[in-house]
Amino acid sequence: MAQISITVNGKVRKADVEPRLLLTHFLREQLNLTGTHLGCDTSQCGACTVLIDGRSAKSCTIFAVQADGAAVTTIEGLAKDGQLHALQTAFWEEHGLQCGYCTPGMILSAVDLLQKNPKPSEQQIREGISGNYCRCTGYQHIVNAVQRAARG
């Protein structure tokens, strides 16, 4: 077992974990933060995306021990004081989701994108979410949502 301490959505979480425990399972099963979805479990689909020290990462491809000492943000940590994050509102208003399975990962990738590039072109948005698959929307409404959030 290994001792870890991860700041998840602003709260320090300490735990004894098996080194092989994936960050996704730590978040979902030990912290009950089930907004982080496990899709492909093979590093492809991006449903499991979280922010680690502000950068988007696929939590199915990271052992929880690797995030020891880091700050992790999940979809549950985006809203502040009961106010949805601008991207969450934009996804709502632009119908950026259907089944919602890809949405948490999609939004966290978009957070990373807008941090690096606050005014992305449509092409840059498509590249920015290229590590996230959506099986429902055909992506257009997701792109529209990111554009709306970028307009502010």
Partner 1 sequence: MISTAFEYQRANSLDEAIKKLQETGGRGKLLAGGHSLVPLMKLRMSEPGILIDIARIPGLAGIREKDGKIEIFAATVHHDVASSALLAEKCPVVAETAGEIGDPQVRNRGTLGGSLAHSDPSADYPAVMLAVDAEIHLKGPKGWRIVKASDFFQDLFTVDLAADEIIGGVQFAAVKSAGYAKLHQRASGYAIVGVAAALDVKGGVITSARLGLTGAGSHATRMTNVEKALAGQPLSAKTIEAAAKIAGEGIKHVNADIHASEEYRRAMIPVFTKRALEKAMARS
Ligand X SMILES: Cc1cc2nc3c(=O)[nH]c(=O)nc-3n(C[C@H](O)[C@H](O)[C@H](O)COP(=O)(O)OP(=O)(O)OC[C@H]3O[C@@H](n4cnc5c(N)ncnc54)[C@H](O)[C@@H]3O)c2cc1C
Residues that bind partner 1 (CB under 8 A): 2, 18-20, 22, 41-44, 46, 49, 52, 55-58, 61-63, 65-66, 109, 112-113, 116, 127-128, 130-132
Query: Following DSSP, what letter does each residue of 66-105 receive, concatenated?
Result: GGTT-EEE-GGGT-BTTBPPHHHHHHHHTT--SS-SSHHH
Q: Contact letters (x/-) for ligand X, 60-99, by CB under 6 A?
A: -x--------------------------------------
- Is 43 near ligand X (CB under 6 A)? yes
- Is 102 near ligand FES (CB under 6 A)? yes
Size of the site for ligand FES (CB under 6 A): 23
Taking the CA atoms of 104, 105, 108 and 110 in sequence, report the sign of the dihedral they define. negative
Inter-CA distances, 79 with 61, 84, 111, 126, Å: 25, 4, 12, 24
Taking the CA atoms of 61, 64, 66 and 68 in sequence, report the sign of the dihedral they define. positive
Q: Decide which of ligand X, ligand FES, partner 1, none touches 34; Cβ closer than 5 to 8 Å per partner kind.
A: none
Minimum distance from CB of 140 to ligand FES (Å)?
12
- Is 44 near ligand FES (CB under 6 A)? yes
52-90 as b/e: b if 16+ CB within 10 A: beeebbbbbebbbbebeebbbbbbbbbeeeeeebbbbeb
Minimum CB distance to ligand X smaller for 34 or for 61? 61
- Is 25 near ligand FES (CB under 6 A)? no
- Is 28 near ligand FES (CB under 6 A)? no
